[in-house]
Structure formats: C-alpha cells, structure tokens
Structure 1
Amino acid sequence: MPSKSNVEMLEKVAGSLEASNGVFVVDYRGLSVKETQEVRRALREAGAEMKVYKNNIVKIALENAGLPNIDEMLAGTCAYVFYEKDAVDAAKVIKEQSEKLKKMDFVGAIADGVALSAEEAKAYADLPNREQLMAQIAGLINGFARDIAVCVKEVPAGLARTVNAVSEQKQAA
C-alpha cells in the first residue's frame, strides 16, 4: 500500500499536469536555495512554475494522464517546469538561468503532447515567442497593404501622365 505522502504527491503532480500545457524537465543539481528561488521567480513571471517531485511519482502521473513516456529522462536530480501558456517563454527563462548560473540544464520535455529530447527542448528557447510572432505577422501584413496601396495609386497616376504627355505632343504639333 502506497504511503499517504506519495498519494498526495501523485495528486499534486496530476493537478500540475492537468493545469499546464506541458512540462520541461531540468537538471538543477548544485543550485543553492537562493538560486532556486531566483529561478522560480523568473519562471513565475513567464507564466510557469518549477516543482520538485519524486521521479517515480511523475512517471506514474504521466502514465495516468496518457502523456508520452519519458522514463529515460527521469533520473537523478530533476525539477519539473510546468508552463500554462507559452512553452517558448518558459524555455527562454530556463536557458537564460542555466547560462547565468551554469548549474542547470534541459533534460527533456513534453510539449504539445510530444516527448522532446534535451536538444529539442533547448531549441524552443531559440524560437520567437507569441508576441514576437504576432509583430512579425503584423509587419508582413502592413508591408503587403503598403505595396497594394502604391500599386493602386500608380494606375491613375500613370494614366494621368500618359494623357498629359499626349496632350503636350498634340499642342507641340
């Protein structure tokens, strides 16, 4: 019979998985309490939270939730970063903190229902976030609209220049 604390932890992990869109698994070995608090604060600002659970409990919770099997990643000192909205924002924070502290690294992830390797999870940090993508799309739309306006304006302007040139030729003759 499982202990009461393990059952409670399983419920917490299941709740975190249900409330999130995915999870990054990070190795946090060597982080001090102060550094861990700093990482958690930065993640909270990005709409994510870092929790430390027993790896076996997380394996069971992932299986119960029908999420991909990442058993090979769940070994050693793992922390779990659950993100609610944008995986890219959470990945960027993890990457920034790992470069700053030199004590954290990606182990893997589950994003959009797919298991990701450490390299694939790290690649999320190099993608533009939602706001950057929206700005790029708006810039493209604005550019197309400007080009269309210039083309539409040039049709009557070209016609006017042609008519003016013909009238000048007739007056000269």
Structure 2
Amino acid sequence: MARADKSAAIAELAEEFRSSSGAVLTEYRGLTVAQLRELRRNLGGNAKYTVVKNTLTRIAAREAGVTAFEDGLFTGPTAIAFIKGDPVETAKGLRDFAKANPHLVIKGGVLDGRPLSVEEITKLADLESREVLLAKLAGAMKASLANAAALFQAPLSQAARTIEALRQKAEEDPSVLKGGAGTPAPAAEGSAADTASEAAAEGGAEEPAESAQ
C-alpha cells in the first residue's frame, strides 16, 4: 500500500474511533463473505463492522486517543465493530452471531474510553436494550401518573358531591346557608334572666325566715 493510501486509511480509521462511542475487536478467520454480510445486517445501525489491517488500526487508535486496546489484540485477521448506536444491541448481535458461527471470535473492546474484556462484553450483551428500558420506564411513569390522578380525583369527586348536595338543599331551604334548617334554635330571649330572677326570689324568701329565728 502506498504511503498516501496508508495515511488516508489511518485518518479514516481514526475518525471512526472518534465518532464512535466504542469499538469491539473480533477475529473473523474462516467466515465467508456471505456470513460477514449477514453479520453486518444483524448489527444494523448500531455498529459499523469493518475489516482492518492491524498495524494501521493500532496507529489510528493511538492518533484518536484510544489507548485501551492491548497490542496483543491486534493479531490475526481483524475486523472492528464501531459502535454507532446502542452498545447493548451491538454486544448482543456479536454474541448471538458468534454462537451460531464459532469462527467469529470476540477479542475485546472499548466503551467510552474504558477497556472491555470478553467477559464484560458478554455481560453487556445480557443487559436489556435501551428501547426496552425506556419502554419499562414509560410504563412505570404512566402507572405512577394514573395512580396520582386517582388519588387527586377521589377527594375532588367527594367534595363535588358534597357541594352539590348542599346546593340542592339550599335551593329547597335557603336558611341552610344562614344556620337554619336543622340548626338548633337559639334559646328564647329572657329565659336565662327569668330563671335567674326566680332563683333570686327563692333565695330572698328564705332569708327572712333565717332572720326571724
């Protein structure tokens, strides 16, 4: 490969590293062209699967500031899945394809600048996808809102029924709003005074008797 072509290839790979949230290194020895095409189709828009040259890729990663890859990973026929979408879906796609096609070997990766071992990539594949998590979150929020609406609605409906009953009763008997209709009638004026006078009179009648003694 001419020097200019090498420089262009390194620049292109470096840009792929910069524009991706992560990358997974694989060895594809033994896979057919048709199988590689199937793998790219399975990954969809979540990752760009590219066959690369080890030496150029090592230089490109270094230029892009990716230092998580060990030199030992750049051996054998190498292809990289540059993560463009959901990293969980990318890991799932690679893992599932590798199960059906053992010639695909996952060697390691990097995500957000952090190195990923093969075991960590497998654990990542076991997680639920972003879409599933968002769907669950939306369902939980919807349920919470429905519960909140029910809590707010119940007291309001009870209050509305009470106000309506009071309104109907007030139409039949306006005194309801003034303390009438069922409100105990106040004591008659003078009754307390009369009672007090009677008590005083009784007390006064006893006093002369005491004096007479």
Into which bin does the TM-score normalised by the smaller protein fall? 0.7 to 0.9
Per-residue deviation, 1:152: 2.5
Residue 54 (structure 1) aligns with: 53
Q: How many residues align?
A: 160
Residue 117 (structure 2) aligns with: 117
Task: Give yes or no for contact 1:26–1:79 (8 Å, CA) kept in 2.
Answer: yes
Per-residue deviation, 1:41: 2.3
Structure 1: where are the runs of 5+ without partners? 161-173
Instruction: Please give the per-residue CA displacement for 1:86-138, whole angstroms capped at 9, x wherever unaligned.
Output: 21222121122112222213211111121111111222212222211211110
Secondary structure of 1:125's aligned partner: helix
Instruction: Please give the per-residue CA displacement for 1:33-58, whole angstroms capped at 9, x wherever unaligned.
Output: 21112112222x23321111122221
Query: Structure 2 CA distance, aligned partners of 1:157 and 1:37?
Result: 62
Residue 9 (structure 1) aligns with: 9
Residue 18 (structure 1) aligns with: 18
Report the RMSD for the aligned CA atoms in angstroms: 2.4
Residue 139 (structure 1) aligns with: 139
One-letter amino acid of the counterpart of residue 57, structure 2: V
Task: Give yes or no for contact 1:48–1:90 (8 Å, CA) kept in 2.
Answer: yes
Task: Give yes or no for contact 2:68–2:110 (8 Å, CA) kept in 1.
Answer: no
Mapping of 1:90-109 within 5 angstroms?
90-109=90-109
Mapping of 1:30-109 within 5 angstroms?
30-43=30-43, 45-71=44-70, 72-109=72-109
Per-residue deviation, 1:158: 7.3
Q: TM-score, normalised by structure 2?
A: 0.66
Instruction: List 4+ stretches of structure 1 deviating above 3 A.
Output: 2-5, 153-160
Structure 2: where are the runs of 5+ without partners? 162-213
Task: Give yes or no for contact 1:46–1:89 (8 Å, CA) kept in 2.
Answer: no
Query: Structure 2 CA distance, aligned partners of 1:132 and 1:119?
Result: 23
Residue 163 (structure 1) aligns with: none
Secondary structure of 2:109's aligned partner: strand
One-letter amino acid of the counterpart of residue 119, structure 2: E
Per-residue deviation, 1:156: 5.3
Query: Structure 1 CA distance, aligned partners of 2:18 and 2:76?
Result: 24
Query: Structure 2 CA distance, aligned partners of 1:46 and 1:96?
Result: 17
Query: Structure 2 CA distance, aligned partners of 1:116 and 1:135?
Result: 27
One-letter amino acid of the counterpart of residue 48, structure 1: A
State the structure with bigger RCO (CA 8 A, min sep 6), 1 or 2. 1
Task: Give yes or no for contact 1:49–1:82 (8 Å, CA) kept in 2.
Answer: yes
Q: TM-score, normalised by structure 1?
A: 0.79
